[in-house]
Chains A and B, each alone.
Chain A
């Protein structure tokens, strides 16, 4: 065989093999290339989709934010409305409560006294409801602040006993407040808010209890350094709460059932307020209950120990309320005639002489013209409010305006920031509206007593 011919055939076979291999590579690489292109396109369309979806999500997020803002605004508007309505209602209610108190105290006609007491009781109930609505709308609107001051836990307990003793006795119910032995005496925190929480829970417990009673127990759950966590238990032997309603009772306007509302009354706001007050202080509230047997409301609240731990002086001095106030001369600064009338009646009962000014500016004129022992100063007035008037009296360079005269604010607002402001401008003390006779007499004795009837009082 011709070797050149053989080589040529071998060459052609090899060449054919090479071309076949090349063909396979061409084919496969084309397929890979096309798949790769598809992947790239898919990737691009996925990226485009992600951009699109992200934009959609962002748009709906913005929509949610706007909806939330609208809802919050509506809620604020509602709270503001409730708040201003409550304020409006309180002014005439002040007159009703104050004048009824005068009638009941002064009247000798048993029927008039009985009717008067009925009016008083209804008015107090109405005031309680309005205060709850006002409190709640303030909490909702975030207009609440917590005071940080030293206070005595024993005193809070004693006040609680005094608050409910008569009401419990009248209904044949037992009421006890027990502090665990070895409790810290002086604490640091918001005494008024703690009282409000306990008063709400006790009031609630008594309301739903027909026999047996309510028992409050307090102990320290934990202590570390200057801090402690206190546990409060308010246990009643009342109607109880079905298990499925336990979670609901802390919602506003919720009661265990609608017949509860008919039988026991109430706004359904008390527990909602209590819960907010507890939680805003970093605490927790929950309830356990057995229908027919009773309920326990538990509160866990953090406090710190008062510095030094010295015993605090008792704030209330029982003797003051009965002090002789005759001959005291008081300037009453109040713009609303009805309120003024009530105050004048209350003052007159104890032979306190009163003069009045309808706003802060008129009060300054009066002070320049006459000598008074004490000023009762409303806060909200046209022309010049009570805060501004007080500031001017205290800052006066001459003695004409009696810069040292005791000034007691009349305020409907129990919140810490208002109190801080009025003490900061130099007011000596404050009375909550509606003003209670006993309270007013006690303050008059405290700040004006030295001048009255010769009986010396601390000032």
Chain B
């Protein structure tokens, strides 16, 4: 998993829950990386799972809620950090249609062999189906990113999630644009 996800996560924890909590969840998890993350590194996604689980314990918030919140937050950060991706897309559907490409370039440029989540996109007028497949099973996180995206483009959107597999490795999101 790309280091940027970790650095952004810990910064979010620092901002929302304070330095002590951030230090605590890192210290309590036995992390191979020792919790020193850089955006240009890549790390075992289990470390993220451990961090989120610890944060859930420390904050009393359920893991799915935390993942979703982080997704929304991360999308906001993306729009600040990778402005050039957003200048090309005028709306949420345009942006989502190209998301596979952005991810691939940004990850592969440093880690050509990295395992990537895939987004299968089917678009039909005001409807878009987005099929998320990843062995990481971070459907809630993906949902958070989608909500962040809709918020960024200031659109009204109905989003339904449907598990295509029991383990959560495949989730079908159906996005329907609502009249403003």
Contacts and interface: CB of A to CB of B under 8 A. Distances in A.
Interface of A: 18-19, 22, 25-26, 29-30, 32-33
Contacts of A30: 105-106, 109
Interface in B81-137: 105-106, 108-110
Contacts of A18: 38
B109 A29 contact: yes
A19 B39 contact: yes
A120 B138 CA distance: 114
Nearest to A4: B19
B39 A33 contact: no
Interface of B: 4, 38-40, 105-106, 108-110
Contacts of B39: 19, 22, 26
A22 B38 contact: yes
A29 B110 contact: yes
A33 B108 CA distance: 8
A26 B40 contact: yes
Contact of A22 (B40, B105, B108): B40
A33 B105 contact: yes
Contact of A33 (B4, B40, B109): B109
A32 B4 CA distance: 19
Contacts of A32: 109
Contacts of A22: 4, 38-40
B2 to A, nearest CB: 11
Nearest to A19: B39
B84 to A, nearest CB: 10
A200 B56 CA distance: 113
A19 B108 CA distance: 20
A206 B40 CA distance: 97
B27 to A, nearest CB: 16
A22 B4 CA distance: 9
Q: Which 7 A-B pairs have the closest CB atoms?
A: A33-B109, A22-B39, A25-B40, A29-B109, A29-B110, A22-B40, A30-B109
Given A26-B40, A33-B105, 10 more contacts: A18-B38, A19-B39, A22-B4, A22-B38, A22-B40, A25-B110, A26-B39, A29-B40, A30-B105, A30-B106
A165 to B, nearest CB: 94
Nearest to B110: A29
B83 to A, nearest CB: 13
A25 B39 CA distance: 10
Contacts of B109: 29-30, 32-33
